[in-house]
Amino acid sequence: MRTRPRQRENPLRRGSDRVQWWLSRLLLALALAGLPVALVAGLGTYHAQTRAAQAQAATRHPVTARLAEEVSAGLATRTVPATVTWNDGGTVHKAVVEVETGQGVGAPVRIWLDANGEVAHAPATAGQAAAAAWTRALVTATALPLVSVLAWKGTLCVLDRRRYARWDAEWQQVEPRWTRSQPS
């Protein structure tokens, strides 16, 4: 013998209750799907960043340049733009790069050059690839449950407004009869 009616057989269950029940299951599945999606996104980012770092490492090489001007240590920032020079096969090159403060003229500065001999950033490291992957995974793992919760709360707000409007309309019909039948 069944003491509790099944959800589908409950005569007091409204259509909005069914929508709410099914939506809760769907959004829970979406929130839980965020974990494997985050793993895939993180791994994809890690592999892409690692390939990019390897490509950069293959096309860039370090050069020791010398400061052409003194860099003041009294500045509030840790690095400042300064002119450096380096010799490449008998040709003297000059560029402006970010250097640490507190260095004098002639101090060695490590710079990176690309395949064309232009100053470039140092190639990305494996740690930077891992950091980018973790960031992508965490954002994805957080975003899908957050979207699910926001969709849930928004849907509840809309369903509740509809329910309250319906209750109000029903009360407008019942209230005149209700108040007349009550003793004063």
The answer to whether the pTM exceeds 0.75 is no
Predicted pLDDT of residue 73 = 65
Report pLDDT digits (tens) over 44-71. Answer: 999 999 999 999 989 999 999 998 888 7
Question: Do 106 and 132 share a structural domain?
Answer: no
Question: Do 165 and 127 share a structural domain?
Answer: yes
Beta carbons within 8 Å of 70's beta carbon, 6+ residues apart: 103, 104, 105
Contact 101, 71 (CB under 8 A): yes
Closest Cα to residue 83, out of 73, 74, 71, 96? 96
Q: Under DSSP, is residue 130 helix (H, G, I), strand (E, B) or coil?
A: helix
Predicted pLDDT of residue 99 = 87
181 within a domain of the structure (yes/no): no
Question: Do 67 and 117 share a structural domain?
Answer: yes
Q: pLDDT-derived band of residue 9, with 50, 70 and 90 as boundaries?
A: confident
32 within a domain of the structure (yes/no): yes
Query: 140 is in which domain, residue-wise?
Result: 15-59+123-175
Question: Do 114 and 130 share a structural domain?
Answer: no
Question: Do 134 and 53 share a structural domain?
Answer: yes
